[in-house]
Chain A
Amino acid sequence: MTTIFTRNDKGSEPILAGNTPAAEKSDAAPGSQNALPTDPLKHSLASAQALTSTASAPRGVSVISRALKITGQLESSEDIQIEGLVEGDVRAVTVRVGPDARVHGTVSGDEVELAGTVDGKIEAKKVVLTSSAHMTGDVVHQDISIQSGAYISGNLIPDYGKSESNVQPIKAMVE
């Protein structure tokens, strides 16, 4: 007997289990057209946690990889590591700008470590400019360390936390 409830049972039950002829058949048609490696995503419907948690970065740290370009603002109450390109302002607790990274805008936080290029402004309690740093713009800081080889074009202003409006502690902003 076939009813609307039973006629698809053969196909629908194994789909929930994940790997079945029915599931593979539905995936196979578009898959063969694209021939792209989509396996992790396909199988994840049954094992969703594996995809997000095993491949996850260490908790709390955001990584902007070198293939990522962000146009806009980033705001975090945790740490950010930038290896890519950011056109806009970055605000976090600890910001690390990697050797090949570029930021056009203001980078602010408790601690900013620069190994790449910043075109704009840095506002941080503690600023570290490594030997590969390229900084164009002002640095507002309380505590700065500059390695030999770092390029700075701009003013170093030791006023972080003292001056009034524009520099606010990160915690007040986020939350």
Chain B
Amino acid sequence: MFAQTRKKADPLDQPPSHLGPALKVTGVLDMDGDLYVHGAVLGRINATRVILAPEASIDGDIVARDVHIEGHVNGRIFALNVTVESTATVTGRIFHNTLAVARGARIDGRMPWRPPSYFDTLTQLPEIRL
């Protein structure tokens, strides 16, 4: 899980996962390392880093350390560092510690700031409030 304190290099040593543009996943994705999404996900994503390509479409919550969004997200985002690119469309709250939004991005929702400690205890949160 994301919340565990791991050694620095550990999760990113794992080979990344790629979900292709034609792939549709319904369910929970639990990952140590980078997750590249080009397709559609209906459900929760849990990873160290999540990179959403412009054609990606997520319906559900994202819990990660870093989230990079170029596609569509409908759901909550819990991440220490969030980057929203100009092609992105986000509907839902973005719980973040550091946030970068590019000009042109569409965001509909609140963007609450949280201290880093908030993200360490995140394990229980999404389940409770889902």
Contacts and interface: CB of A to CB of B under 8 A. Distances in A.
A41 B18 contact: no
B121 interface: no
B120 to A, nearest CB: 10
Nearest to B20: A62
A133 B97 CA distance: 45
Interface string A19-33: 000000011001101
Contacts of B49: 41
B98 interface: yes
B35 A52 contact: no
B75 interface: no
A67 interface: yes
A156 interface: no
Nearest to A93: B22
Interface in B36-57: 36, 38-39, 43, 47, 49, 51, 53-54
Interface in A1-43: 16, 26-27, 30-31, 33-38, 41-42
A33 B116 CA distance: 8
Interface of A: 16, 26-27, 30-31, 33-38, 41-42, 44-45, 48, 51-52, 55-57, 59-80, 83-84, 87-88, 92, 174
Interface of B: 8-9, 11-12, 14-36, 38-39, 43, 47, 49, 51, 53-54, 65-66, 68, 70, 80-81, 83, 85-87, 97-98, 100, 102-103, 116
13 contacts: A30-B116, A41-B66, A41-B68, A55-B34, A59-B20, A61-B18, A62-B18, A62-B19, A62-B39, A64-B19, A70-B28, A74-B25, A77-B22
List 5 A-B pairs, minimum CB-CB distance, nearest first: A72-B27, A57-B18, A67-B14, A62-B20, A76-B23
Given A55-B34, A59-B20, A76-B20, 18 more contacts: A27-B98, A30-B98, A36-B8, A37-B12, A41-B49, A41-B83, A45-B83, A55-B51, A63-B16, A64-B17, A65-B16, A65-B33, A66-B15, A68-B17, A72-B28, A75-B24, A79-B20, A80-B20
